[in-house]
């Protein structure tokens, strides 16, 4: 039905790819909100030229790794 709607033609490729068994979302975790927040903040810094991508990802890891370690216990 969606493939027949011409207004959604730009999404047809996505619809086909979304059928893949390899498509997954973020895993459920107690710290997912903190991870996504840190990722968003650090990505914004990179896009504004305030940080390198590597520094940003290092900061995300520094913020989130303690939460991940705590969740494992």
Q: What is the 3-state secondary structure (H, E, C) of 13-66?
A: HHHHHCCCCCCCCCCCCCCHHHHHHHHHHHHHHHHCCCCCHHHHHHHHHHHHHH
The residue with greater pLDDT, 53 or 5, is: 53
Question: pLDDT digit string (tens) for 14-51?
Answer: 888 888 888 887 778 899 999 999 999 999 999 999 99
pLDDT value at residue 18 = 85
pLDDT value at residue 2 = 61
């Amino acid at each position: 039905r969606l493939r027949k709607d011409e207004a959604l033609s730009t999404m047809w490729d996505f619809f086909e790819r979304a059928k893949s068994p390899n498509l997954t979302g973020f895993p459920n975790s107690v710290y997912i909100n903190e991870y996504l927040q840190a990722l968003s903040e650090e990505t914004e810094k990179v896009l504004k030229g305030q940080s390198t991508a590597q520094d940003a990802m290092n900061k995300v890891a520094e913020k989130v790794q303690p939460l991940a370690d705590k969740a494992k216990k």
